[in-house]
Structure 1
Amino acid sequence: MDPRLTEVAKELMSELGREGAIQLLITEDDGLVKKEIEKVCLGLSTGPQFRGHVLLALRKELFEDQVVLRSAAELYRDREVLKTGIRSLDLLLGGDGIGIGEDGQLIEFTGRAGAGKSQLCMQLALMSCAPRDFGGLENGCVYINTEGSFPVSRMLEIEAGLREKLDLQLDYQGSSFSDKVIVEMCRSADSLISLCSYRLPWLLEQSRARVVIVDSVAAPLRFNSDRSARSGSARDSLVFQLVKALRTVARKFKALVLLTNQVTDVFIEAHQERAGAMRLRGSLRPFAPALGIFWSSYMSARYLLTKDGPTSTKSIEVLSSPSKPTGAKLALVVDQAGVSEISSELPA
């Protein structure tokens, strides 16, 4: 474009301001356009063709920097992901880790007690604090604990194991990852909803954390200390309020929300079936994730963790995912050093 046209457009921007320049672009009064351009043209010809070129230059000055055209390959390459520190687990959870987008996704890890849900979440919390060169986000995490006291010593053991996996003991001399993990405690459904609605947005804004973990959602929603048991309709109302609060912060702060859930036994006759019921390997007892179908309908992806006998061997299986087939699974070791890989059974 002729640099003189760019200069005229800049003069118009200076003379009219941004709003005035936009009004000039959309006006149908050619006389007004001619008058304004003549003010800044200093004797240049202001014929219709020239005025049209000036308006094109003005449009470019106003809007070109606001519209960025990018290919799908560029968007995929530049998207943010949270890695687990285990390549095969990254593949299971999304391809190259858990993607962090603007869609307010909620990801659930469910399973019986001792299946490794909390250890996995603590490892993900620490990875969110790790340097980007090693798959982390370098931003931090808000970890909401709803059951018992927070196991600080276990997190420190997992951090030591994670640093060893990533070869960070000598290469990275930064502060402890756990220094960037903000721990909040909740015991009731009402306090959890209040925290996620009001305090959590403030924490994310102040800390720039990009990961939120609720471990677990089931305890406060299934049972409350001042009420023996939540009725179905009352619990559904609480679920809706909690999901709304979590989705709001996920979208506003482009944060990743990870949730752990319990499972409950399903008491049915042998000939009966129930949607969503599953069986543990080697067990005749059917079970399903807690909180029911209403809760599950809000989850973007769900994963089941199971323990294989008394050993530290566990497995993680896809219950629902936008990127992996249901039933895809992976064997893991979960011990004091965190989560490690045994072997991959991912289908092609």
Structure 2
Amino acid sequence: MPPIKRREFITIVGGSLAWPLAAYGQKKPMPVVGYLHFAEPNYVPTAADFLQGLNEAGFVAGQNVAVEYRWAEGRYDRLSAMAADLVGLKVDLIAAFGPPPAKAAKTATSAIPIVFEVGNDAVEAGLVDSLARPGGNATGLSILFVQLTPKRLELLCELIPGARTIALLVNPNSPTAEPSLRGAPEAAQAKGAQLLVLKAVNEKEIDAAFDTAVASKADGLIVAADPFFDTRRVQLVAAAARAKVPTVYFEHEFSNAGGLMSYGPSLASVYRRMGIYAGKILRGERPAELPVEQPTTFQMVINLKTARELGITVPPKLLFTADVVIE
């Protein structure tokens, strides 16, 4: 399998100021980073890439920085207590992965710096005043996952010419649900198709959603960007294969796991950039003056093996424009 290309991110506006140490009192001999994630402890890719970014910024876990991990194991209702716990420990920084952890951290503290990764609009989510000048204690990456639903629908229609019904799977309990729907009905209509919205908040409902897609004779399905779905990657790919429904995902790891197609920024690069940003803040830069970064390029990955199993001939144009083709 060809190596996945790492995508770089650029800041919107440069510039930073020193963060006043007095705001946090006496600095500990070794700074402590609170790591707040919605997934299970075995969700290691996030941690590895984040730690790589920290290393690039000059911080090595266990040597000159400590990391306190908090895993919500897919239960959003645990995030508020976990964020409060990290605040109680007086960590030097909180790294929040996904919209719900970011919101929980932001609610828990207005003093401790926060580095976040969100798939929706960070301004709309109330995390920052603006992308260029966040203006508070939080900054990070807004990776536009949810805004790309119309593009994924367009790609699916190119892959399945003449598609008449396109299903969109969302998690109604997530703040990403409503933004993921924006523009999707219009995009489907422009392609001569209708949009079928399916919902899932747990493993059982994921399988049921694919059963509904089959019963509704959906020509294809799009998995909306959502932290919960990211942690259920294997189940989603298996459900799509069982149902024989051509499915487009929001991150290349789905295609690596056997998913037909994915389109979106590289999460590995996102997590690495989070680590670099965390390092900058630990060295004294102010989150209020560190611009929120956004992706400038996106990866399209096509799994030809899966396409063959589904009896799909991928159009040459898609193969030519794909960043990665998995044989």
- Output the TM-score relative to the length of structure 1: 0.30
Q: Which structure is higher in helix share? A: 1
Q: Which has the larger radius of gyration?
A: 1
- Output the TM-score relative to the length of structure 2: 0.32
